[in-house]
Amino acid sequence: MNFASILEAIADEVRPSLGDGKVADYIPALARVPASQFGIAVRTTDGREVCAGDASTPFSIQSISKVFTLSLAMQQLGDGLWDRIGREPSGDPFNSLVQLEHEQGKPRNPFINAGAIVVADRLVSQFANPKEAVRQFVSSLCEEEVGFDEEVARSEAATGFRNIALANFIKSFGKLDNPVADVLDLYFHQCALSLSCVQLARACAYLCHDGRNPLCDQPVLTDRQARRVNALMLTCGTYDAAGEFAFRIGLPSKSGVGGGIIAVLPDRLTVCVWSPALGPSGNSVAGMRALELFVEKTKLSVF
């Protein structure tokens, strides 16, 4: 398949409507990202990397980081991780407290904020320097040093009242082992990781390589674990639009409010899109459109 021409065609098709939607503006460092950027990168299991548009521009990966912290926690803890996190779609806005109260502090899945905070707590218990552990883990996945945008991390900490509320709420149920401040320090930093589409498509390659990092041929997860991450991405990866993603796109995906979306076609390829303007569900408008076009043009989806 000629991915190069397909990606160029997609970039051409989405260009006229770039900027439709609304760039996340809850912190200045995100608000000032120009809305009209767009990048797309594909990495196939036979090692090809193809891209178009602003695919090498680093952006704030935000919630896409939840794929990496989940994977690292699964690697470290195995099934014990699931004692404190469910695996069901939430059916609710992504940071709702309601369900958390109803279920006594056990978040519905690791991709809502509450769930990612619980994952962060487990990593804080696991590593002497959890921020550095996560940074190194992601760096090793894409074989390049990646870093935190400290301005973003500081802003998230200064204004993230809802996440502070979430963490204290979970703590009130006795379901965080570490001090709230330590857990949130990791959480706000993981969201502030900066990567480009090309880097993200590469970093997620283990999800379509039976759990192995193809760059260094090292195991990241077991085959089964990798497939389960894919399953979670499909059912829970895109806030309360997971059903819509499955219906219209049909690829396991994880999005972030920085405008990035990573998608996986198991055993075949990863594709990462990025465009900062978001739709009402918190997902990149042009990114979703680009993935829809990708599936239309390639006939590749899990369904």
Provide the binding-site residues for a copy of itself, judged by CB under 8 A: 86-92, 96-99, 101, 108-109, 161-162, 164-169, 171-172, 180, 227-228, 230-232, 234-236, 240-244, 246-247, 250, 252, 266, 301-303
Give least dist CB 37 to a copy of itself, A: 29
Comparison of 149 and 240: residue with beta carbon closer to a copy of itself: 240
Q: Which of 257, 264, 271, 273 is catalytic?
A: 257
Buried b (16+ CB within 10 A) or exposed e, 117-132: bbbbbbbbbebeebbe
Gap between the Cα atoms of 253 and 233, Å rounded: 5
Q: Which of 175, 239, 254, 284 is catalytic?
A: 239
Ramachandran angles phi, psi of 4, nearest 5°: -60, -50
Sheet hosting strand 59-60, strand order edge to edge: 59-60, 193-195, 147-148
**Active-site residue flag, 257:** yes
Q: Tell me if 9 sits within 8 A of 237, measured CB to CB.
A: no
Comparison of 260 and 266: residue with beta carbon closer to a copy of itself: 266
Q: Which of 118, 175, 187, 271 is catalytic?
A: 187
The CA-atom distances, in angstroms, between 294 and each of 2, 6, 56, 121, 214 are: 12, 7, 19, 37, 23
Comparison of 39 and 266: residue with beta carbon closer to a copy of itself: 266
Give least dist CB 126 to a copy of itself, A: 22
**Active-site residue flag, 194:** no
**Active-site residue flag, 239:** yes
Structure tokens at 209: 């390589």
Give least dist CB 31 to a copy of itself, A: 17
Gap between the Cα atoms of 176 and 170, Å rounded: 6
Q: Residue 256, SS3?
A: coil
- Using CB atoms within 10 A of its CB, is residue 57 exposed (0-12), middle (13-18) or buried (19+)? middle
Give least dist CB 45 to a copy of itself, A: 14
Give least dist CB 139 to a copy of itself, A: 26
**Active-site residue flag, 26:** no
Find the angle CA(74)-CA(221)-CA(75) to the nearest 5 degrees: 30
**Active-site residue flag, 66:** yes
Comparison of 37 and 238: residue with beta carbon closer to a copy of itself: 238
Comparison of 198 and 264: residue with beta carbon closer to a copy of itself: 264
Query: What are the DSSP calls for 170-207, one per residue?
Result: HHHTT---S-HHHHHHHHHHHHTEEE-HHHHHHHTGGG
Q: What share of the chain is helix, strand, coil (3-state, %, to 5)?
A: 50, 15, 35
Give least dist CB 83 to a copy of itself, A: 15
Residues with catalytic function: 63, 66, 187, 239, 257
